[in-house]
Each structure stands twice: as structure tokens, then as C-alpha cells.
Amino acid sequence: MTQASPEGGRRIDEAALEEEIRARITARGAGKSICPSEVARSLAGDDPQRWKQLMPAIRRASVRLARAGELRILRKGKPVDPEDFKGVYRLASLPHTPEGGENGA
């Protein structure tokens, strides 16, 4: 398993990254999104040299979770293909659909 290690910090494995992403999205609530840097700061602290090192690993974890249908990756507020997006992005929970489908049937 790949591990990320903020310089001078503890090693953070993929499972820990995914767990923190899920926790942050759940805490933020439906219809809201989080910035991946929030995840990095929560794991590595506020020192930019430390948390920025986690950003590539958080992006990879986000793509895995999006592929697994656990979250959405947003760019400019709109869902994007997890296999093909660039630049600044945010993470959000999946939209809630009522039981029985969209029309309640």
C-alpha cells in the first residue's frame, strides 16, 4: 500500500486518507463540498510544507473513492469524470435519492 509522509511527520497510508475524506464529507453534510486541502491540514497540520506533500496522495484517494461510487469530484461546482479532470477541485457526497427512486414510486 502506498504511503504519504509529510516531512518530519508520521506516515499516512491510503486507508487513513480515504477515512479522513469520508469523515470530512460526512461532517460537512449533504449538498456541501470540501476542499482537499482541508483533509491534508487535518492530517498534517497547518504547516504548508507538510500538508502540501499530501495533496497528490489525496487526489489519488479521491479518484479511487469516486470510481467506487462513494463521492463526487467537482470542478466549478459541477461533477467531473474522475479519470479526466485538471486543476482545482472539491469533493462532495453523492446526491441523496429518496427510497423508491426519484419519483417516490
92 pLDDT band, cuts 50/70/90, is very high
The residues, ordered by sequence, that sit 6+ positions from 62 with a Cβ below 8 Å of its Cβ are 21, 36, 71, 73, 82, 89, 91
| pLDDT of the residue at 64 | 97
pTM: predicted TM-score of the whole model, two decimal places: 0.82
| pLDDT of the residue at 21 | 98
| pLDDT of the residue at 63 | 98
75 phi and psi angles, rounded to 5 deg:
-130, 125
Return the domain boundaries, the chain. Answer: 3-92
96 pLDDT band, cuts 50/70/90, is confident
| 6-62 confidence digits (pLDDT tens) | 555 567 899 999 999 999 999 999 999 999 999 999 999 999 999 999 999 999 999
Domain 3-92 belongs in CATH node 1.20.120.420: no
51 phi and psi angles, rounded to 5 deg:
-70, -30
Closest listed residue to residue 51, CA positions, set 3, 4, 18, 2: 4
Question: Which neighbouring-strand residues pair with 90?
Answer: 74
| pLDDT of the residue at 95 | 87
User: Is residue 84 scored above 90 in pLDDT?
Assistant: yes
User: Is residue 101 scored above 90 in pLDDT?
Assistant: no
